[in-house]
């Protein structure tokens, strides 16, 4: 079997790359270790920068997003019982769109199926070979049978734990990592959101976030200890703790209900450099992870895909490798800026268990400066809505 580009991973990064390449006439095969139902059952973030929205539309998968996505002009930050609004539109002229990552993945999978581009689910990749040559090979097992695909390019879009980054020889990558001493306990509920826009909360009991997926479905998060187990959090305990952290006016109007999904996720910052080894290119979580505080995970994957798709289309049309050679450096410049912003938001809004009294005062001073300074608010806004590609 042969194709021009093998894409490993059918999350939004892999499917978005596949659609952009297919529409440019580049042949692709997508390999995914899990089933399609499993992929579509994963609950993830849902705040899209304008650049990500434009890419999804350019991939021919934007109709449902435009019909059901929620445009947000800003966010609120709650501290010391008061809510402070950061007005993205007045500060930058830009907005964000709230549309669940699960829905983005579904739309891209449907678009791929409609154009009959091949995707192989429940395919276990067991080898990425000859990446230092012009014709790498990918071996996978499906239903107990081994297969091999020869290609020109391998795109590793299979996430932090995927096989792609692990296939790069020792010594070829440098990794940078920060593990945070807490996690996020998330709950999804079929109830109207408590606020029109996202509300980030810095509270003495810990961080909280009031988010949403639609006008009738809300997503809430609580900072929790890493060693906690989701089974210890009944719905009633979650709602009681959320009410204790959010502002009293929100607590009074909060609509609760049985959880559709509940999970705990650790927080980490991670970058692997470079994002390329020979003919193997990394994109999305395969190359970097951000804490979700700044809503950058999916959006960074989208910017990676924008750079990589442009480089690959140029390569297959002209044979030139300039853009491919520059892909990693170009992507990493934006990655590190998003890492900085996500780290800063995390430092600003969470209660760190080992923070000294001085560090706590510094956090309070930072918040006070943010609420009083238009320049500081503009910095937050321009990063949140997305830096230019």
Enzyme catalytic residues: 72, 200, 292, 296, 384
Structure tokens at 203: 């509270």
List b or e across 302-330, with b for residues whose CB sees 16 or more CB atoms inside 10 angstroms: bbbbbbbbbbbbbbbeeeeeebbeebbeb
Contact 260, 177 (CB under 8 A): no
Q: Looking at the chain, list the stretches that DSSP marks H as alpha helix, in order from N- to C-terminal side.
A: 12-23, 36-40, 50-58, 63-68, 88-92, 101-114, 163-166, 235-245, 248-253, 297-318, 322-349, 357-372, 374-385
- Residue 184: enclosing H or E segment and its boundaries? strand 174-189
Structure tokens at 333: 């410049």
Residues 64, 66, 68, CA angle at the centre, nearest 5°? 65
What are phi and psi for residue 283, nearest 5 degrees?
A: -145, 150
């Amino acid at each position: 079997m042969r194709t021009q580009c093998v894409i490993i991973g059918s999350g939004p990064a892999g499917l978005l790359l596949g659609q952009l390449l297919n529409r440019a006439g580049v042949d692709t095969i997508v390999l995914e270790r899990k089933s399609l139902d499993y992929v579509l059952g994963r609950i993830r973030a849902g705040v899209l920068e304008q650049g990500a929205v434009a890419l999804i539309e350019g991939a021919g998968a934007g109709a449902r997003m435009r019909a059901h996505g929620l445009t947000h002009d800003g966010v609120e930050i709650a501290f010391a019982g008061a809510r402070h609004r950061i007005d993205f539109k007045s500060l930058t002229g830009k907005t964000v769109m709230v549309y669940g990552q699960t829905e983005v993945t579904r739309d891209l999978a449907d678009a791929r199926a409609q154009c009959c581009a091949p995707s192989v689910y429940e395919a276990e990749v067991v080898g990425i070979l000859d990446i230092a040559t012009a014709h790498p090979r990918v071996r996978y097992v499906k239903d107990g049978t081994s297969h091999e695909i020869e290609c020109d390019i391998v795109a590793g879009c299979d996430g932090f734990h995927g096989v792609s980054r692990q296939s790069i020889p020792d010594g070829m990558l440098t990794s940078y990592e920060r593990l945070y001493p807490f996690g996020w306990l998330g709950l999804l509920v079929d109830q109207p959101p408590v606020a029109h826009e996202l509300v980030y909360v810095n509270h003495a009991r810990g961080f909280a976030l009031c988010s949403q997926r639609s006008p009738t479905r809300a997503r809430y998060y609580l900072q929790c200890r890493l060693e906690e187990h989701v089974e210890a959090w009944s719905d009633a305990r979650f709602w009681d703790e959320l009410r204790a952290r959010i502002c009293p006016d929100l607590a009074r109007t909060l609509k609760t209900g049985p959880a559709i999904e509940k999970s705990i996720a650790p927080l980490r910052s991670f970058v692997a450099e470079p994002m390329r080894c020979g003919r193997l290119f990394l994109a999305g979580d395969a190359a970097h992870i951000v804490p979700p505080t700044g809503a950058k995970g999916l959006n960074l994957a989208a910017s990676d895909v924008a750079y990589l798709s442009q480089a690959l289309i140029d390569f297959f049309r002209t044979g030139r490798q300039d853009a491919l050679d520059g892909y990693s450096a170009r992507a990493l410049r934006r990655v590190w800026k998003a890492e900085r912003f996500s780290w800063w938001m995390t430092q600003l809004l969470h209660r760190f268990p080992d923070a000294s009294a001085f560090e706590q005062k510094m956090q309070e001073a930072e918040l006070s400066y943010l609420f009083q300074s238009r320049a500081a608010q503009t910095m937050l806004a321009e990063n949140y809505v997305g830096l230019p590609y």
